[in-house]
Structure 1
Amino acid sequence: MKSFKPLVPFLKRHLGSYVLGVLFLMLVDAIQLIPPHLLGKATDDLKNGLMTPKLLGLYAAAIIGLALAVACGRFLWRMNLIGASRKLEMDLRNHLFNKLLELSPGYYDTHKTGDLMAHATNDVNAVRMFFGPGIVRLVDSVFMTLTTILAMIFTIDFRLTLITIIPLAVMSFIINRFGKLVHDLFKKVQEAFSSLTDRVQESFSGIRVIKAFVQEEEELKNFEKENTKNFNANMRMVKIWGLFDPMVQLMASLSFTAVLIYGGIMTIKGNISLGDFVAFTSYLGMLIWPMMAMGWVINMMQRAAASMERLENIFKEIPEIQDEDPIKINSLEGHITIKNLTFRYKKELKPVLSDINIDLKPGQTLGVTGRTGSGKTTLTRLLLRQYPVPTNSIFFDGIDINDIPLKTLRENIGFVPQDSFLFSDTLSGNIGFAGNFPDEEIIKAAKLSAIDKEIRDFPKGYSTIVGERGVTLSGGQKQRISIARALIKNPRILILDDCLSAVDASTEEKILMNLKSYLSGRTSIIISHRISAIKDCDEIIVLEQGKIFERGNHEQLLEKGGIYAQMYRHQLLEENLLKEA
């Protein structure tokens, strides 16, 4: 039960619903004890010749009235208990989603999407099932068992009751052992489902790559492997659960046999009446269901406990990046200073960036280039504080980045990532993602990123829905929409991380011309492999193996004749060859 401790605040808030639901459920159970007694009385009246049409009508009316009362009671306990469990499900999912949004990007480097999806679906549902149908069955089984046994003792015979419940006591012991097995097995089931979900999610996301490389059969084999693991984990659960039902039926049969033999003898001897015997067998039938329900309760509880443990592992995660006593600041001027920055993703790994020093004044533009894997994107991640930044290494307006509220830092930076991610929304919705912007602002941003004309060519214009991750658009179109999304924020600082790689040279030139006036007075960092995108920057740095290998403006770097000059000559040659072609 320790697994459910985090749910105590929720249970306190909805205590009224649970109390009302339990009361209505107990009332229904109590009413259900009356019909067997009426049936016994009616049997005795028939046997003794006391039954009359009027009395038969009264018995029938009473049973119908009790059935209506049970129906109303069932509706009321369902609305309260099942309703409360649905609220719990909603709260858990909201809490989980909120927690996942809080966690730093580094968390997603080590946790798969499919596994997280399994937490949000299967695990949350398992907890709901216990705190809804599970509570119903728990109350049902405990209350019905106690009241039925008491009714059997006080209205019929103590000795007969005692003989009858001995097999049921053995069944309680079996149920207890059964629950411990279920807990361990269900954890493995959930892990297998998580692995399967992750495989499916990854395959669907990369379906175009799979088809391009004709790997459908290989992917099917991989899926079948994970699916078999999931099947085997579930079958182990089925085997244990499959043993339970026959065991319950066996114990029920033993109890009925005891009633038939011992109760029959007592009826023949006149110790109990025929009506009492009929009522007793009805009570025994009512007792079997609660005992079976207890098995379901144990099953649900162990499943919920296993799932809650998995969810709690996420809830206990502490975000790697969070505000710790930040200063009160709402805006940034854009003065970026980097002093002796050395960064590694893990302690045991070699540095990705080493001894980086940059002083970028407000309104200046910094160009960053270098070979693949030189640390360019890592630099942008640190400027956005997506990973832990060493103290006294990055400053904005003279303030250590770790002392600036994350909200303030990221609101003042317009960022266009290397991987242009678009949501399955309208084009205007993607451009205006950062807030509620009027159509005029959205169109203005689209014009700056040279995508307005192409958007208007779509049948529904800015209302066109793009597919998941923007699959219906070309790479260049996605990049330009991402640029528009950053520009519309009107940020003090703009970071473009190689976001023009998929556009042609003429479109790139048009975008850069549009950005010249936009960037006036703003601090900007442009990362690109193309020299044409950064040649007009106030300062350019060339990264090589995480270090600043060269720095200066375009003319100075060409004069040095180093990596930058070599890249420039190669790109110039490529352009000339393309023109000739």
Structure 2
Amino acid sequence: MRKLNSLLKYAKKYKKRYFIGIVFLIIVDFIQLIPPKILGHLTDSLSQGTANKEKITTAVVGILLIAAIMATCRFMWRIYINGTARFVEYDIRSKFFKHLQNLSTSFYNKNKTGDLMALATNDLNAVRMALGQGIIMFCDAVVLTVATLIIMLSINVKLTLIALIPLPFVAIISRKFGKSIHRKFTKVQSCFSKLTDIVQENFSGIRIVKSFVQEEKEYEKFLNENTNNFNANMEFIRVWGIFSPLIELIASLSFVILIAIGGRFVILGNISLGEFITFNMYLGNLVWPMMAMGWVINNLQRGYASLERIEEVLNTPPEIVDKYVDKIESLKGDIEIRDLTFLYPNTKVPALQNVSITIKKGETLGIVGRTGSSKTTLINLLLRLYNVESGKIKINGKDINKIPLKALRQNIGFVSQDPFLFSTTLAENINLAFDELDMDKVVEATKNADIYDNIIDFPEGFETMVGERGVTLSGGQKQRASIARALIKNPDILILDDCLSAVDAKTEVKILDNLNKIMRDKTSIIISHRISAVKEASQIIVLDEGKIVQNGTHEELKNQQGIYKEIYEKQQIEQAIMAEGEV
């Protein structure tokens, strides 16, 4: 009952629809109890020689009329019960997706995409079946069983009690197999999730798979997981394969008992032939609920197992939430970072240690450092993708934790080092931040990002469909389209996280010149491995192992002993070699 209540809590919103559906279902159950009575009376009339054309015609018309009413009512309960289960499925899927959107980055670091996809599809389908077919079978079994038993007892109490002997065994077997079905189905869903994850990962990284000639190796990995999925399903089928026929076998024993003892009752004159036939048909009505209980147990166990997996995600609270925030609409002002130390969850070594920076309004901060020096971590904290201690980061004098997330992220233009484009048109990708498409703004943003000429050269121009993750564009085009997407927001703060690495030096200079004009009264942060991208910044910091080891302007740092000078001199030599090669 606890499992049924867990499922039904999602159906409460539609209790009126379910009520209407159950009413039509009960009408069908009661109406289908009438034909056995009609056939019983007709049989007695035929055996006694009292039947005539009128009686037979009345019986036939009556049965046809009942069949028509049952067909109509069956249509209604399918619409109102199975249809409502679809409404519930829609609600849970919407709630699930919205909750996923609110969960923090760390959640996605621990949970695979394929597993989440399986929850939103396969598991949710099992929940729908439990709230559709499961409810139908449960109500059908209870109502039909009670109504049939009452009529059977009115015909012959002794014969009814004898025919019901197998019923307790059905209950015992259902209870025993129910736990096993739950365990096996949970394993099935888990294996399906892993299989989905492998498929999704391979399709997303198909170019890497092909370039490293890993097709056969990846196929073997898929084959192993597919085998696990197959074996889990076969284990579940074996349990269900034993359970269902066993219920049917026990139910069939009732017919054996009825034929053996009921036939003797007819010979002895305890019941008439018509009553025997009527009793036999009612017993057939009773066998279905006995078998249906097995299906009910299966549906509920599968639905509950899937709901547990879905609710595990739904019960995961978002780590990054608004709490005691102020009403803030603009981020124009200084950015202050004081003694910031940050550790990623479940780690002991700080990613950032005692970082202190002040960026004045209208200034540009350049961040340089070797790979793994936590440059991106600092940006993630400015975007509040992870929680920060109170007072460690302030924007325009306000603690970052007091700034509403929506206001914070709407006023920051962010371009990541791994630009992501959606499978839609270029215009819609660039206009992502807005509901209404303003082509004038889109065009202006693409010109500032120096991608306009590329776009108009495409046959479809701004209507060019971008493949999954921007696969149809070059690396430089993806980066510049992402920059345009950030610029169209006209942000108070612009953050470029090593997003100019795939463009040539000439294009880089042009983009940076445009940014200097656009962001003159606003704040910019540029992370780059190339000194050319940050040399015009108001100040530059050098990160190493999460610590600021150097701070100053380009002119100051290039003459200091340290990481910056090493990187600068190395890149100067590389540029000289390239220049000689061109000559």
TM band (smaller chain): over 0.9
Deviations 1:4-44 (A, max 9, x none): 65666643321111111111100001001111111111111
User: Structure 1's 56 and 246: CA in aligned 2 closer, same or farther, altered over 3 A?
Assistant: same
2:284 & 2:163 partners in 1: Cα distance?
11
Q: Quick one: which amino acid aligns to residue 144 of structure 2?
A: M
Alignment partner of 2:149: what SS?
Answer: helix
Provide the TM-score with structure 2 as the length reference: 0.97
1:102-121 correspondence to structure 2 within 5 Å: 102-121=102-121
Query: 1:373 is matched with which residue?
Result: 372
Tell me which stretches of 4 or more aligned residues in structure 1 moved more than 6 Å: none
Whether 1:329 and 2:328 are equivalent positions in the alignment is yes
Whether 1:91 and 2:91 are equivalent positions in the alignment is yes
2:339 & 2:504 partners in 1: Cα distance?
37
Deviations 1:392-412 (A, max 9, x none): 211101111111111111111
Deviations 1:536-575 (A, max 9, x none): 0000111111111111111111121422122112212212
1:99-498 correspondence to structure 2 within 5 Å: 99-154=99-154, 156-346=155-345, 348-435=347-434, 436-498=436-498
1:9 & 1:169 partners in 2: Cα distance?
30
Unaligned runs of 5+ in 1: none
C-alpha deviation, 1:315, in angstroms: 1.4
C-alpha deviation, 1:212, in angstroms: 0.9
Q: Quick one: which amino acid aligns to residue 70 of structure 2?
A: V
2:333 & 2:579 partners in 1: Cα distance?
40
Query: 1:80 is matched with which residue?
Result: 80
- Which of 544-553 and 249-258 deviates more? 249-258
1:223 & 1:161 partners in 2: Cα distance?
56
C-alpha deviation, 1:150, in angstroms: 1.3
User: Structure 1's 287 and 421: CA in aligned 2 closer, same or farther, altered over 3 A?
Assistant: same
Query: 1:18 is matched with which residue?
Result: 18
Q: Quick one: which amino acid aligns to residue 418 of structure 1?
A: Q
Indicate if the aligned counterparts of 1:4 and 1:308 stay in contact, CA closer than 8 A.
no
Indicate if the aligned counterparts of 1:3 and 1:308 stay in contact, CA closer than 8 A.
no
Alignment partner of 2:329: what SS?
Answer: coil
Whether 1:69 and 2:69 are equivalent positions in the alignment is yes
- Which of 476-485 and 251-260 deviates more? 251-260
Deviations 1:112-165 (A, max 9, x none): 1111111111221111111111100001111111111111111x2111111111
2:318 & 2:207 partners in 1: Cα distance?
34
2:64 & 2:8 partners in 1: Cα distance?
40
1:270 & 1:17 partners in 2: Cα distance?
49
Provide the TM-score with structure 1 as the length reference: 0.98
Alignment partner of 1:14: what SS?
Answer: helix
Number of residue pairs aligned between Structure 1 and Structure 2: 580
Unaligned runs of 5+ in 2: none
1:507 & 1:569 partners in 2: Cα distance?
22
User: Structure 1's 151 and 6: CA in aligned 2 closer, same or farther, altered over 3 A?
Assistant: closer
Q: Quick one: which amino acid aligns to residue 464 of structure 2?
A: T
1:2 & 1:165 partners in 2: Cα distance?
28
Alignment partner of 2:77: what SS?
Answer: helix
Q: Quick one: which amino acid aligns to residue 572 of structure 1?
A: Q
1:9 & 1:270 partners in 2: Cα distance?
53
User: Structure 1's 562 and 462: CA in aligned 2 closer, same or farther, altered over 3 A?
Assistant: same
C-alpha deviation, 1:3, in angstroms: 4.9
